[in-house]
Amino acid sequence: MKLVSTPRIEFLRTLAAEILHNYGRGRTIIAVDGSEIDGSEKAGRVGFADDLAAVFRETEHTTFRASLRNFQHSRAEQQRLGGDRVDVSERLYRVGYDYSALRRVLVEPFRLGGSTGFVTEEFDPDRDAWIQPTWQTAPADAILIVDGAYSNRPELHGLWLFSVLLESEPGSDSDRQYLADVRPRDLVSAVVDNTNATLPRRVLTDRC
């Protein structure tokens, strides 16, 4: 379905064309990194990833969506792993995510191709409960877009063929710690100024 043209959609079309030029065949995994600046998912990385997926589907590319938030540890497990860390955002940053499960049920089977099944969500952090798995398959050429905070940390960066960092004001002390620890703008494929979500702007870096 043809999307209504707006400056945001046109920007995403240009970004999608760049990705397809380089990774248009086979299974492509794209990450969208960055903080949710104002509590509005549609204005942050979730909305950006959703709209990017819609642009790919506009070009009739089979596209799947996933979020790192649906691969978190349970609250009890986070408390166990976090020890005496009482700050929730720091605990989420340090021990909050089950990256082993992410690889096992989503990334690795998606990469395998063929009829191998994969799961795009495993855990509901709002209910603090496991999600009944829905196994999916994909054609030989398919795109998976994964949004998530801290998605270019060393445990994850090598999983993505293309990654986008949305730059805005850090939302928490853990966001600032991540930027200092990992320096994601030096790692990603594209840096985007998302301060005005209706008018995203590509930021050129030495890496770009």
> Is residue 208 in some structural domain?
no
Q: CA 29, 51, 19 angle in degrees (round to 5)? A: 40
Token reading at 84: 């005496």
Amino acid occupying residue 48: F
Domain count, the chain: 1
Domain that holds residue 163: 7-203
End-to-end CA distance of the chain: 31
For each of the chain's 208 residues, which pLDDT tens digit applies? 789 999 999 999 999 999 999 998 999 999 999 976 544 556 689 999 999 999 999 999 999 999 999 999 999 999 898 877 668 888 889 999 999 999 999 999 999 988 899 999 999 999 999 999 999 999 999 999 999 999 999 999 999 999 999 998 777 888 889 999 999 999 999 999 998 999 999 998 765 4
Is 9:51 a contact under the CB 8 Å cutoff?
Answer: yes
Spatial distance between the Cα atoms of 120 and 56, rounded to a whole number of angstroms:
18
Residue 177, domain CATH: 3.40.50.300
Strands 162-167 and 190-193: parallel
Residue 1 lies in a domain: no
Q: Does 113 reside within a domain?
A: yes
User: Is the whole model's pTM more than 0.85, yes or no?
Assistant: yes
